[in-house]
Amino acid sequence: MGRKNKRIMAIVVRFTIMGLLFSLLGGCATAPPEQLSEVTRASIGEQSIQRVTVVASNYWFRPERVIVKLGIPVELSVRKEPGIIPHSFVIHAPEAGINANIVLGAKPEVINFVPRKVGAFEFYCDKPGLFESHRQMGMVGVIEVTP
Ligand SMILES: [Cu+2]
């Protein structure tokens, strides 16, 4: 085999292995259950607290758009579906009074804050993946604060 052919073979082998790895990883990804909606407006309950739950899995958040009202306390409950792949819930929006960096478990954790600014504030999972980060694979959402 010529040197050029060897190089082509090496490239073909590399792409085949990458393809196999991608399909294996694809096997880990799950579709979000249909009953979990993509957009949720927090419900204002007892003592005028806005309560909302965000669930995470491979590689999504539901809801991925959480709508809350300005100035009313929020109890945001976050958890992940059972599974071996770790996930987190990270949001850094100090201007809006929202900050969290939580490694998710199956047991819900509550984040308390009072939204101080109208706008859309991104949350995401900061876990790295093999090729792409979980954030790049779609573990991104937004907290929308409305007047
Ligand atoms: Cu993740």
Q: What's the 57 CA to ligand 1 centre distance in angstroms?
A: 7
**Ligand 1 mean position, distance from CA 47 (Å):** 33
- Tell me the CA–centroid distance for residue 86 and ligand 1, in Å: 6
Q: 10 Å Cβ neighbour count for 98? A: 22
Q: Please list the alpha-helical segments (H only) found in 1-147.
A: 3-26
CA of 3 from ligand 1 middle (Å) equals 43
pLDDT of residue 9: 66
Output the pLDDT for position 6. 73
What contacts 100, CB < 8 A, 6 or more positions away? 76, 78, 89, 90, 91, 111, 123
DSSP labels, 32-47: PPTTS-SEEEPEE-GG
Of residues 79, 29, 17, 31, the one with CA closest to residue 52: 79
pLDDT at position 7: 72
Residues of the chain with pLDDT under 50: 17, 20
**Confidence (pLDDT) at 36:** 83
- Report CA(9)–ligand 1 centroid distance (Å): 35
Q: How far is the CA of 139 from the centre of ligand 1 (A)?
A: 6
Q: Which two tokens stand for residue 99?
A: 């900050």
Q: Compute, in angstroms, the gap from residue 58 CA to the centroid of ligand 1.
A: 7
Which residues neighbour 34 within 8 Å (Cβ) at sequence distance 6 or greater? none
Taking the centre of ligand 1 as the mean of its atom positions, its distance from the CA of residue 41, in whole angstroms, is: 23
Distance 90 CA to ligand 1 centre (A): 10
Condensed to tens digits (0 to 9), the pLDDT of residues 47-72 reads 799 999 999 999 999 999 999 999 99
CA 77 to chain centroid, in Å, comes to 14
Write down the pLDDT at residue 35.
80
Q: How far is the CA of 129 from the centre of ligand 1 (A)?
A: 8
Strands annotated E in the chain: 39-41, 43-44, 50-57, 60-62, 65-69, 74-80, 88-93, 98-103, 109-113, 119-124, 140-146
